[in-house]
Structure 1
Amino acid sequence: MATANDRAVLQTIFNPSTPFGDIPGLDEEEEEDAQEEGDGFAPELLEQARDLELQGVSAAESGDVSAALERFGEAIRLLPQRASAYNNRAQALRLRGDVAGALRDLDTAIALSRGRGRAACQSFVQRGLIHRLQAREEEARQDFERAARLGSSFARRQLVLLNPYSALCNQMLCQMLGQLRNPGSE
C-alpha cells in the first residue's frame, strides 16, 4: 500500500501541472463525515430554497442581477443557515461591483459550511479570485489551497499560476522522465 507521500510523488509525475502533494480524493474520508447539505433542514423548505437559488442563477445568467439578488435574498431568509445561497449571492454582488458585500457573504458561506463541501469549495475559489484581483496573493493562495483540497481543479491551476517555480520544476521533472523513458530521443 502506498503512503500519502508516495501518492503525492506519483501525482506530480503523471500530472505535472498540479502542485506537489495535491492528491485528488485525499479528503474523501473527510467529505463522507461531513454533514450532507440537506441535513437538518425541513425538506419542503430546502426544496423552496433550492428553487429560489435556481431562479436567481437563471436571472443572473440572463443579466438581471437585481432579480438574482432578490431570489438569493429570499432563499437566505427562508434558510439562513444554508451556505449555498450566500455563495450564490456573493457572485451576484460581485457582478454588481459590491466586492465588500461579496466577501462578507463568502465568509458567511465558509463559516456555515464549516469549510467543507461544495459550497465551501466554491466560496474558497471565489474569495481567492477576489484576493487575487486585489493583489493579496498570500490570501489567494490559502483559499485556492483549501479549494484544491476540496477537489477544485480550477484552484489547483490557480496555485500553479501563483507559483511559477512549481510549474518550472514540474516541467523539468517531466522532461527528465521523458529522457529516461526514451534515452535516444532529444
Structure 2
Amino acid sequence: MGTLNDRAVLQAIFNPDTPFGDVVGLDLEEEAEKGQVDENGVFPREQLEQSKALELQGVTAAEAGDLSTALERFGQAINLLPERASAYNNRAQARRLQGDVTGALEDLELALALSGGRGRAARQGFVQRGLLARLQGRDDDARKDFERAARLGSPFARRQLVLLNPYAALCNRMLADVMGQLHRPRDGC
C-alpha cells in the first residue's frame, strides 16, 4: 500500500479528468494540524471542546455515510460557536457530498469570511471551494483558490495547481496511455 501522496498521483494518472477531491484520506495532512490551531485563546474552552466533539461526531457520521446526522452535528457545532469557521467547512463538505453545491458554497464563504482568509480554516475553505469550481468547470476560479490555499501551506492545493497546468495534464494522459498499453499488449507484438 502506497502513501496518500502515491494514491493521489495514481488517481491523477489513471483518471486525469476526474475531480481530485475524492481520494480517501487526502485531507489527513491538514487534519493532523487540528490541535495546533490558535482557537484556544479565542473561544471559551468548554464551548470549544464541545464544538470540536460535535464536529468529530459529524465527521464520523459522514464517513459512515450518514449525512443527515453529520449535518445535524455540524449545525449544532455552528449554533454553539457561530463565529468558528471549522464547522462551516465541515458542513460544506457534507453538503457537497449530499449534492447541495449552493449550500456548500454558502458555508465556504462564511468560513472564509470568519477566518479572515488566514490559517487552517481558510486553507481548507479555499481547497474545498477550488474543488467545487473544478467540478463546475471553472478552472480559472479553481486555480485562484488553490493558489491561495498553497500560499497558506496546503500540499494538496500545490498538487492541484500542477494538475491544472495543461502541460501536466497532457503528460498525465500520455503516461496513462503508456501504462494502459503496458497492461494490454497489442496482438502480434
What do residues 57-94 of structure 1 show as CA deviations (whole Å, max 9, x unaligned)?
Answer: 00000110000000000000000000000000000001
Cα offset, 1:154, TM superposition: 1.1
Kindly indicate whether structure 1 or structure 2 has the higher relative contact order, using CA contacts under 8 Å at least 6 residues apart: 1
Counterpart CA distance in 2 for 1:125 and 1:38 is 24
Question: In terms of Rg, which structure is larger?
Answer: 1
Is 1:39–2:51 an aligned residue pair?
Answer: no
Counterpart CA distance in 2 for 1:163 and 1:104 is 28
Cα offset, 1:163, TM superposition: 1.5
Partner of 1:164: 166
What do residues 14-51 of structure 1 show as CA deviations (whole Å, max 9, x unaligned)?
Answer: xxxxxxxxxxxxxxxxxxxxx82233211000000000
Over the aligned positions, Cα root-mean-square deviation in angstroms equals: 1.6
Aligned match for 1:56, one of 34, 55, 58: 58
Cα offset, 1:166, TM superposition: 7.0
What do residues 87-141 of structure 1 show as CA deviations (whole Å, max 9, x unaligned)?
Answer: 0000000111000000000011011001111111111111000001101111100
Cα offset, 1:167, TM superposition: 8.2
Q: TM-score, normalised by structure 1?
A: 0.69
* Structure 2 unmatched ranges of 5 or more: 1-36, 171-189
Counterpart CA distance in 1 for 2:65 and 2:110 is 25
Code of the aligned partner of 1:107: E
Aligned match for 2:92, one of 90, 93, 98: 90
Pairing of 1:106-185 with structure 2 (within 5 A): 106-165=108-167
Percentage of pairs with the same residue: 72
Structure 1 SS opposite 2:120 = helix
The count of aligned residue pairs is 134
* Structure 1 unmatched ranges of 5 or more: 1-34, 169-186
Counterpart CA distance in 2 for 1:38 and 1:105 is 23
